[in-house]
Every structure is written in C-alpha cells, then in structure tokens.
Structure 1
Amino acid sequence: MNTSAKRILCTVVGAPAAALAVWALAVPVAGTTLSVRMGAGTQQIGPGSVLVASLVAGLAGWALLAVLERFASRPARIWTITALAVCALSLLGPLGSAVGAAATLVLVLMHLVVGAVIVLGLARR
C-alpha cells in the first residue's frame, strides 16, 4: 500500500474514530444526553449514527478529491475550500436541531473534529 492510500485509509477510518471518542466522553462518561429534534419528536444520537455519518463524510470527501484530481487544474485548493465550506455548513444541523446547550456543544464539537480530521488528512501537502 502506497503512502497516499495509507493516508486516505487513516483519514476515512480516523474521522469516525475521533467522532466516537467525543461521543464516548460526552455520553457514557459525562452523562450528556445527545438528542435532536426530528419532525414532531426527538431522536437520540447513538454510536451507530455517529459512525455512519462520519464514515459517509470521509468517503464523500475522498470521492470529491478523487474527482477533482482527475478533472480540476488546482484540485487541492478547490477541495480544501469546498471541504471547509461544507464543514461550516454542517454546523447548522446541531445549531438548529440539538436539544439543550450540552447536546449542541457536543454535536458541534463532533462536527468540527470530523471536519478537522478529514480536511487535514486529505489535504495535499
């Protein structure tokens, strides 16, 4: 496996691992209830949701980077700007739907941690 493939694998696996670490510290250890408003009710955010969402984000980031590397003249720059914009926009989710200040803080932190791992891990040096 070449260095680039190792970096991509570490990033795509590292983003969910980092998000699950935040979840584990916040929910079982600190006792925070992570719930969001969904339609007329609320939904608890469990480790499965955290794993799937962060894995999808990492795979989507990798896919976009692969497409840009094939077709764009400055793929790293375009990808980094796009990834940072998507990360910023993703914060609207927890800011608008989290139930309570603690849940909002933890969910925002999870979004930022996943975004940081993906942006730093996939950005070309």
Structure 2
Amino acid sequence: MNKSLRRPLIVGGAAVAALVVWAVAVPVAGVALTVHMGGGPQEVGPVSVVVASLVIGLAGWALLAVLERVASRPGRVWTVVALAVLVLSLLGPLGGAVGGGAMSVLIVMHLVVGGVLVGGLARR
C-alpha cells in the first residue's frame, strides 16, 4: 500500500469501525447509548462517534510523527503511550455510561478504535 495513504486510511478505518459498532448496537440491537454529560444524560449519536474517533486517530498520528523525528524507537514508544491512553479512555465508559448495555458498547467501541489505531499506525 502507498505509504502516504496508509495512515489516513487507518485513521479513517478506526472511525468506520466505531461507526459499525454503533450501528449494530443502537439501531439494530436497540441499545440506548446514553452517557452522563455536564447537565444530564445525553445520547451518543453517529456524528459523535465518528468525530471522537477521528480526533483521537489524528492526535495519535501527530504524536507518532513527532516521535519519528525525536525518538530512537518511535514505534515502541508510541505503542506504549497509545496503550496507556486506551486503558485510561476506558474510565469514560466505566464512569459515564448510563446502564450496562451502554457501558458494554462504549467499551467495545474504545477497544475497536484502539485496536485499529495501535495495530495499524505504529507499523512501518
């Protein structure tokens, strides 16, 4: 695959994977994907899923680009940081989801996005 296309495709793929999880869980399985936000409960919709996935994917890509310029083992450093961020990101669904179904779906979504990004971005 063309190197200049690989990383954007991985970031986009992570967003698509998260959207697939949302589509299976919410419209198909009927899970109410609700979280506690600021003033009260809020539904997590497809736009939020895609935007959040793209933001974290682009941030991860940017960090990797910086590490490739300054670190002797950028892939290894990036993978450790990315896995730490993934573990910390799970605190969101654990503390903010409304109900067990929403918590399960959000955890799966985080793991899917993290898996795509960690598995794809650090590889050369």
Q: Which letter maps to 2:45?
A: G
Aligned to 1:3: 2
Gaps of 5+ in 2: none
The aligned residue for residue 39 of structure 1 is 38
Partner of 2:96: 97
Q: 1:81, 1:71 → 2: CA distance? A: 16
Within 2, Cα distance between the matches of 1:70 and 1:40?
42
Q: Distance in 2 between matches of 1:33 and 1:70?
A: 44
Aligned length: 124
Other-structure match for 1:52: 51
Moved over 2 A (4+): none
Distance, in Å, in 1 between the alignment partners of 2:95 and 2:6 is 33
1:24: Cα distance to partner?
0.2
> Unmatched 5+ residue regions in structure 1?
none
SS of the residue 2:31 aligns to:
coil
| CA-to-aligned-CA distance 1:45-99 (integer Å, 9 cap, x gap) | 0001001000001100100000000111110110000001101100000000000
Determine the C-alpha separation between the residues in 2 that align with 1:123 and 1:72.
13
> Match for 1:85: what amino acid?
A
Map Cα deviations across residues 6-42 of structure 1 (whole Å, 9 max, x no partner).
2102111101000000000000000000000113410
Q: What TM-score results when the alignment is normalised by the length of structure 2?
A: 0.96
Q: Using the alignment, how far apart are the partners of 1:40 and 1:64 within structure 2?
A: 33
What's 1:118 paired with?
Answer: 117
Please give the alpha-carbon distance, in whole angstroms, between the structure 1 residues aligned to 2:66 and 2:46: 30
State how far apart, in whole Å, the 2-side matches of 1:121 and 1:57 are. Answer: 14
Instruction: Give the alignment's TM-score, normalised by structure 1.
Output: 0.95
